[in-house]
Chains A and B, each alone.
Chain A
Amino acid sequence: DSGVTQTPKHLITATGQRVTLRCSPRSGDLSVYWYQQSLDQGLQFLIQYYNGEERAKGNILERFSAQQFPDLHSELNLSSLELGDSALYFCASSVDQDGNTIYFGEGSWLTVV
């Protein structure tokens, strides 16, 4: 157990819908990272938050957004879902801003039908 908690573990939804994925970082960690893992793209960095502020942005679509709340948990919002958004979404956390020591959650499987 890494200490990073993600919910839900599995989610099936229809195209055009909106979902929210939730992540609770390890106790004491201030940074949260979101990654998308798909068969054709591998593990792609989406976005990082540090202590409530967006710190770095990767290949995140405009239909996707995220935020980190005062209690440091984070949510990834995916809207206008397409079949190609089906993937495993990982959250990771670290104590500080750099990703040299990060811990991953078990992921949220999203299937868009």
Chain B
Amino acid sequence: AQSVSQHNHHVILSEAASLELGCNYSYGGTVNLFWYVQYPGQHLQLLLKYFSGDPLVKGIKGFEAEFIKSKFSFNLRKPSVQWSDTAEYFCAVTSSGGSYIPTFGRGTSLIVHP
């Protein structure tokens, strides 16, 4: 069965700081990887996704993530965060072994101070 671990549960940054959120998955086969964001009071929305090809994927709002197969990781990065990035961030994985049902990590709460 597939699973996802997010190591940072709470992150507090000041504006303009760089961000990196860790995500590791466990599944031996081919996976599809996702980062979702949930702004306060809103629904989850897709930030970026990786299916195949270039392991460095760029998403909306200046976010990017890098798939490192040897480390089973898909870390999310942003060079300079803004107050508006305050949100909950979820890493997710789908695979044939999981019937392509998204399995989510427990989420990382990011607070950005102005």
Residues of A within 8 A of B (CB): 2, 4, 33, 35, 41-43, 45, 48, 55-56, 58, 90, 92, 97-100, 102, 104-107
Contacts and interface: CB of A to CB of B under 8 A. Distances in A.
29 contacts: A2-B43, A2-B45, A4-B43, A33-B101, A33-B102, A41-B106, A42-B107, A43-B90, A43-B107, A45-B101, A45-B104, A55-B99, A56-B101, A58-B101, A90-B43, A90-B44, A97-B100, A98-B94, A98-B99, A98-B100, A99-B100, A99-B101, A100-B51, A100-B94, A100-B100, A104-B36, A105-B43, A106-B41, A107-B43
Does more than half of chain B's interface fall in helix, strand or loop, or is it mixed? Answer: loop
Interface string B31-58: 0100010000111110001010000000
Chain B, interface size category, equals: 20 to 34
A56 B32 contact: no
A106 B90 contact: no
Most buried by A among B32, B43, B45, B107: B43
Interface of B: 32, 36, 41-45, 49, 51, 90, 94, 99-107
